[in-house]
Chains A and B, each alone.
Chain A
Amino acid sequence: DADVTQTPRNRITKTGKRIMLECSQTKGHDRMYWYRQDPGLGLRLIYYSFDVKDINKGEISDGYSVSRQAQAKFSLSLESAIPNQTALYFCATSSPGLSTDTQYFGPGTRLTVL
C-alpha cells in the first residue's frame, strides 16, 4: 500500500463549485504540505502544516483553504473553483530530521476547472 494517498486522482468540475482534495498518510509524519504543479513553473507551495494545530500559508494560498483533521489527514479545499486553478496537486509529508526534511509525495490529483 502507498504511504501517501490522494483522492480523487482526477476531477473535472465547473467554475464556482466547491472542491475538496484529500490526503492521507501512513508514514507517521507530523509535517504535511500541499503543492500545485503547473507546466514550466515547477511545484509551488499552497499550505503546510507542522502538526494538527499548526497551519501555515505558502506562496500561493489565495483561493485555497486547508484542514488538518488528524496527524494522518490533510485536506485542501477550493471554495469557489476558477479555471486558473486547473493544475496537478500534490500532497507531501515529512518528519523533521537533524538538519533537513525529506519530503515524500503522493501520486497527485489532476484537477480541471471548466
Chain B
Amino acid sequence: AQSVTQLGSHVSVSEGALVLLRCNYSSSVPPYLFWYVQYPNQGLQLLLKYTSAATLVKGINGFEAEFKKSETSFHLTKPSAHMSDAAEYFCAVFNDYKLSFGAGTTVTVRA
C-alpha cells in the first residue's frame, strides 16, 4: 500500500521567512499526492495536488510543491511566511480510491 511520511511534527518560522514542510512517499506506482491545510477549528482545505503532470505544482495562498521521483519526495514550500499561514498541514497519497494521510505538521509563525 502507498503511504506518506511527514518529517517534523512542528515547524516554527519567522514572518517573511521560507516555509518548508517535508513529505516523503512510498509507492510502487506513480502516486497522486496532495497537500491539505487545516486552520484552527476548521476542516481540511486542499492546497494543491500532483497528478503526474508538471512536477512543480502551484497551489493557493502562494504555496507550491515539487514532485521528485528520485527522492520520493513532495515537499511544500512558500517563499515568505505570513501570520495567516499558522495552521496544520497534511500530506496525503491517493491510494486505492482513498486518501492516506501523514501525521501532520503544525506551523507556527513568529512576528
Contact = CB atoms under 8 A, between A and B. Distances in A.
Contacts of B104: 40, 42
Contact of B32 (A44, A45, A50, A99): A99
B44 A41 contact: no
B43 A4 contact: yes
Nearest to B4: A42
Contacts of A80: none
A42 B90 contact: yes
Interface in B35-81: 36, 41-46, 49, 51-52
A48 interface: yes
Contacts of B34: 102
Interface of B is mostly: strand
Interface residues of B, number: 23
Contact of A42 (B46, B97, B102): B102
Contact of B43 (A50, A100, A102, A105): A105
B103 interface: yes
Nearest to B94: A100
Given A43-B90, A105-B45, A100 B51 contact: yes
Interface of B: 9, 32, 34, 36, 41-46, 49, 51-52, 90, 94, 97-104
Interface of A: 4, 33, 40-45, 48, 50, 58, 90, 92, 99-108
Given A104-B46, A108-B41, 19 more contacts: A4-B43, A40-B9, A42-B101, A42-B102, A43-B44, A43-B101, A48-B98, A58-B98, A92-B44, A99-B52, A100-B51, A100-B94, A101-B99, A102-B46, A103-B46, A103-B99, A105-B44, A105-B45, A106-B43
